[in-house]
Amino acid sequence: MRKFLIIAFILSVLPSFSSASDVKLLISGAEEKVEAFKKNDIHYVSFSEIVELVGGTLDWKILGHTIEFVEDTNHFSFVIGSPYIERNDSLFNMTYPALYKKGKLFVPTETFIRYWDEVILQKVIWDSESKTIRINSEYFNVTDISCSKKANGLLIEVFLTSALAYDVFVTEGNWINISIRDGIMNRSQIQSRMNSRLMYKLKTHQQNTTGQVSIRLKRKVDKWHHKFQSNPPRIQISISDTDFEMDPIDTHPTIGPDTKIDVIVIDAGHGGRDYGAIGQKNLREKDVSLGIAKELAKMIRKDKQFKVIMTRDRDKTMTLEERAKIANESSCDLFISIHANASPKKHVRGWNVFFLAQARNDSARSVAQFENSVFLRDQAPESTIDEAPMVDYNDPILGIINEMIMTEFQMESHDFAIMVDREFRKQLKIPSRGVDQAGFFVLNKVYAPSVLLEVGFITNKQEEKLLKTKKYQKSVAKAVYNSIKRFKSKYESN
């Protein structure tokens, strides 16, 4: 009896774990299951699994049990057993500690989600009753902003999902402010439009159901006027030193996918004189990418829901300008560039899905440098494909190019990349390297949601053998095709 009482006492003071139960993660039109459990009535979810699904990287530092998470320009640092997290050099208290279990990082769902939501491009919502985490962009009705120079002045546009009441007012210091009633702003997306050539600062503020965008311009705000435009819904503000009227004909291109997702451009990487990477058994990247592109085009055409355009359907040299021109003149809704990866380390394996944004790690940066190298050679008239010039990737000019990469479709591209990633995990029997981002020239020139696929390492003997087979090429094509249909289902307006 004495032993029994001692054991009962010990059990009563130990933290209580309930049996594991999955949490639903709703993202990009799909439902995924993520491991979760309760400890002392606090709900914990596997952040390791979430990162695999939504993108980003977890870096485990064994000493001190520190884990770092990097997503885009945001950085989180966790310490196992501590409720404190560091986010972009600021310290926050989750109230409950981060935990380690079976090789995974678990975070207190309700108290951590709000810190993650503040920096992610999409809205993150935790529903404790249904045990569901929702990640979506449809939550916002103030979605984006653009600021561009025109021949007769400066044009600012704030993009909405529908007509909303708004006020525009100018304050001292060249601040122009747009206050939108019942506006819920995608603050991360809007703040990513900061243009140092045109403005000193770009701020957003959400107060209950009113959102406000404030821009401190470099030019003097003297004469200005505003109006609401439709197709797409947006607030237009024109600023000029002379009197002028905006063109009454609404000819502004749609920001984001148009109302019908029906034109797909497939870009088979490399071609002609540009072999791309070459495998140990002399398999050429240009042949792999064309084989997959043809399989994908065949699947899409058979379905008859889409118009398919290929940048090349044979072994042909294509410049960056030619590829971009084909995509832009077709007003495509998705641009998919197909490639095979390479590494001097022959054991490296796996596929990657990339979208256009600043590279956040050396691996992504090296892939972009290799894929961009042929275009850099094309721009040097004194060089040939066989005599490539030395390229200094620390060149400040290239840094400026990366700073200016187009971001109009970053959210849609990231969303489509996640869809492809999920389908690749189902279809391909090689390791996943996940979703990543980098400054690819071919994507930067295309005015549409776009991704670049590295479907395996041609320099790895096992994967080179796979890449050569029709079966693997069809598996890649099927995964991409399923992703296109999912993208259409989510974004197309009927």
Give the pLDDT confidence of 253-275 residue by residue, as tens digits. Answer: 443 345 678 899 999 988 998 89
Report for 23-37, 369-383, 386-400: range of highest mean pLDDT: 23-37
What pLDDT was estimated at residue 489? 80
Q: What is the mean pLDDT of residues 308-321?
A: 90
What pLDDT was estimated at residue 242? 47
Q: What is the mean pLDDT of residues 213-221?
A: 89
Q: Does 491 score more than 60 pLDDT? A: yes
Structural domain ending residue among the three candidates 240, 275, 291: 240
Domain shared by 187 and 291, yes or no: no
SS3 57: strand
Categorize the per-residue pLDDT at 362 as very low, low, confident or very high, splitting at 50, 70 and 90: low
Q: What is the mean pLDDT of residues 24-47?
A: 85
Domain shared by 310 and 422, yes or no: yes
Q: Does 332 score more than 80 pLDDT? A: yes
Query: Is residue 372, in this structure, part of any structural domain at all?
Result: yes
Domain shared by 348 and 403, yes or no: yes
What pLDDT was estimated at residue 349? 92
Domain shared by 371 and 480, yes or no: yes
**CATH label of the domain that carries residue 428:** 3.40.630.40
Q: Chain-wide mean pLDDT for the chain? A: 78
Domain span including residue 92:
18-127
Q: What is the mean pLDDT of residues 378-382?
A: 46
Reading the block at residue 294, the tokens are: 């043809």
**Which of the two residues, 185 and 121, has the higher pLDDT score?**
185
Q: Does 5 score more than 70 pLDDT? A: no
Domain total in the chain: 3
How many CB atoms are closer than 10 A to CB 331? 13
Q: Does 392 score more than 70 pLDDT? A: no
- Percentage of residues in the chain having pLDDT higher than 70: 76
Closest CA to 455 of 439, 479, 437: 479
Query: Is residue 12, in this structure, part of any structural domain at all?
Result: no
What pLDDT was estimated at residue 14? 41
Structural domain ending residue among the three candidates 79, 101, 127: 127
Q: Does 1 score more than 50 pLDDT? A: no
What pLDDT was estimated at residue 135? 80
Q: Does 84 score more than 90 pLDDT? A: yes
Q: Are 373 and 392 in contact (CB under 8 A)?
A: no
Categorize the per-residue pLDDT at 121 as very low, low, confident or very high, splitting at 50, 70 and 90: low
Close Cβ partners of 324 (under 8 Å, ≥ 6 residues apart): 442, 445, 446
Q: Are 64 and 79 in contact (CB under 8 A)?
A: yes
* Weakest-pLDDT range from 73-82, 117-126, 249-258, 274-283: 249-258
Among left, alpha and beta (phi > 0; psi -120 to 50; other), residue 55 is: left
Q: Does 87 score more than 50 pLDDT? A: yes
Q: What is the mean pLDDT of residues 28-57?
A: 83
What pLDDT was estimated at residue 140? 80
**Which of the two residues, 74 and 309, has the higher pLDDT score?**
309
Categorize the per-residue pLDDT at 71 as very low, low, confident or very high, splitting at 50, 70 and 90: low
Domain shared by 218 and 276, yes or no: no
Reading the block at residue 57, the tokens are: 């990287």
Domain shared by 360 and 287, yes or no: yes
What pLDDT was estimated at residue 149? 83
Q: Does 405 score more than 70 pLDDT? A: no
Q: Does 387 score more than 60 pLDDT? A: no
Tell me the pairing of strands 334-341 and 263-268: parallel
DSSP letter for 63, please: T
Categorize the per-residue pLDDT at 28 as very low, low, confident or very high, splitting at 50, 70 and 90: low
What pLDDT was estimated at residue 115? 87
What pLDDT was estimated at residue 400? 37
Tell me the pairing of strands 175-181 and 307-310: unpaired
Q: What is the pTM of this model?
A: 0.53
Report for 49-63, 184-198, 354-368, 446-460: range of highest mean pLDDT: 446-460
What pLDDT was estimated at residue 483? 92
Domain shared by 355 and 431, yes or no: yes
Domain shared by 288 and 427, yes or no: yes
Q: How far is 67 from 2, CA to CA, in rounded Å? A: 43
What pLDDT was estimated at residue 380? 45
- Percentage of residues in the chain having pLDDT higher than 90: 30
pLDDT tens column, 172-197: 888 999 999 989 887 777 877 888 88
Query: Is residue 209, in this structure, part of any structural domain at all?
Result: yes
Domain shared by 99 and 184, yes or no: no
Query: Is residue 5, in this structure, part of any structural domain at all?
Result: no
**CATH label of the domain that carries residue 48:** 3.30.457.10
Query: Is residue 435, in this structure, part of any structural domain at all?
Result: yes
For 94-218, list the strands marked E by DSSP.
99-101, 104-108, 123-127, 132-136, 142-150, 153-160, 166-171, 175-181, 199-207, 210-217
Q: Does 201 score more than 60 pLDDT? A: yes
pLDDT tens column, 428-446: 989 888 887 755 656 667 7
Categorize the per-residue pLDDT at 394 as very low, low, confident or very high, splitting at 50, 70 and 90: very low
**CATH label of the domain that carries residue 220:** 2.60.40.3500
Query: Is residue 7, in this structure, part of any structural domain at all?
Result: no
Categorize the per-residue pLDDT at 482 as very low, low, confident or very high, splitting at 50, 70 and 90: very high
Structural domain ending residue among the three candidates 127, 159, 190: 127
